[in-house]
């Protein structure tokens, strides 16, 4: 497991990361975007996009690390304008096929002017960026005063964190494994410490709190129980134990 205390650049190379996600894009949607009621990925997408809708309905929204556009497509349904940026041309090709407004670029150098968006969000991306402070600073920079920065962290205080620490790296393509890309874990206390300059920490939402493994939610009978329970406790104090911890920062 790579933690915030490890070297900020250990095992990281931007070109390698780009190639990793280009290959990941080829099979990325095999189990995603199927809109299967009660499914694991449907649960994650619903809780993540639902939080953005709370602050971004009828407003301008940016997703940093939009991938193939599965979340961004949801955002476009309620935002006045939804844009996305990603490092991987392979991912962006699929997003463009969905008719989404996206561009290639880095989370640490966002190609937008200051104060452009009402909500800037990022899911499952910041955990793969060594200079996370720079990425959060960039997200805050392009957010308008009074707007929200929603940043998702991989949380070591969770079932998912434990499994990632003890289990083998999964295969994500013909030649790539999860271990081929830089990954960091930041607990809720660290997430609060990482509040971008000019912003204040406004709490968090937890995603995948009591689910021990993804396949549990996809299992008949017990899956729907976990699905409903996760939705009920996402904003409760139990969010500190979530595999995906979404910090909410408001720009002054």
Residue 143: what pLDDT? 98
Strand, coil or helix: 202: strand
Does 6 score more than 50 pLDDT? no
Q: Each residue of 203-250: pLDDT tens digit? A: 999 999 999 999 999 998 999 999 999 999 999 999 999 999 999 999
The order of strands in the sheet holding 117-122 is: 101-104, 81-86, 60-64, 117-122, 143-154, 244-251, 199-207
Residue 21: what pLDDT? 47
Mean pLDDT value across the chain: 87
Which of 11-20, 63-72, 153-162, 179-188 is predicted least confidently?
Answer: 11-20
Q: Each residue of 96-113: pLDDT tens digit? A: 999 999 999 999 999 999
Query: How many whole angstroms separate alpha carbon 165 and alpha carbon 101?
Result: 36
Does 7 score more than 70 pLDDT? no
Domains of the chain, start order: 14-251 (3.40.50.150)
């Amino acid at each position: 497991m790579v933690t915030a205390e490890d070297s900020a650049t250990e095992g990281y190379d931007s070109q390698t990361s780009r190639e990793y996600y280009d290959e990941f894009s080829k099979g990325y949607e095999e189990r995603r975007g199927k809109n299967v009621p009660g499914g694991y990925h449907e649960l994650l997408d619903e809780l993540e996009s639902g939080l953005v809708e709370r602050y971004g309905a009828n407003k301008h929204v940016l997703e940093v690390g939009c991938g193939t556009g599965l979340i961004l497509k949801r955002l476009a349904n309620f935002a006045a304008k939804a844009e996305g940026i990603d490092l991987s041309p392979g991912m962006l090709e699929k997003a463009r096929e969905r008719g989404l407004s996206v561009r290639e670029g880095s989370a640490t150098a966002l190609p937008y002017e200051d104060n452009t968006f009402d909500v800037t969000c990022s899911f499952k991306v910041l955990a793969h960026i060594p200079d996370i402070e720079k990425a959060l600073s960039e997200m805050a920079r392009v957010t308008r005063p009074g707007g929200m920065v929603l940043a998702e962290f991989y949380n070591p205080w969770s079932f998912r964190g434990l499994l990632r620490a003890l289990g083998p790296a999964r295969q994500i393509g013909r030649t790539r494994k999860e271990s081929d890309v830089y990954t960091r874990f930041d607990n809720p206390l660290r997430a609060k410490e990482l509040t971008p300059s000019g912003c204040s920490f406004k709490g968090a939402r937890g995603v995948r709190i009591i689910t021990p493994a993804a396949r549990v939610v996809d299992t008949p009978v017990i899956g729907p129980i976990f699905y409903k329970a996760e939705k009920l406790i996402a904003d409760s104090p139990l969010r500190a134990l979530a595999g995906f911890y979404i910090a909410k920062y408001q720009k002054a």
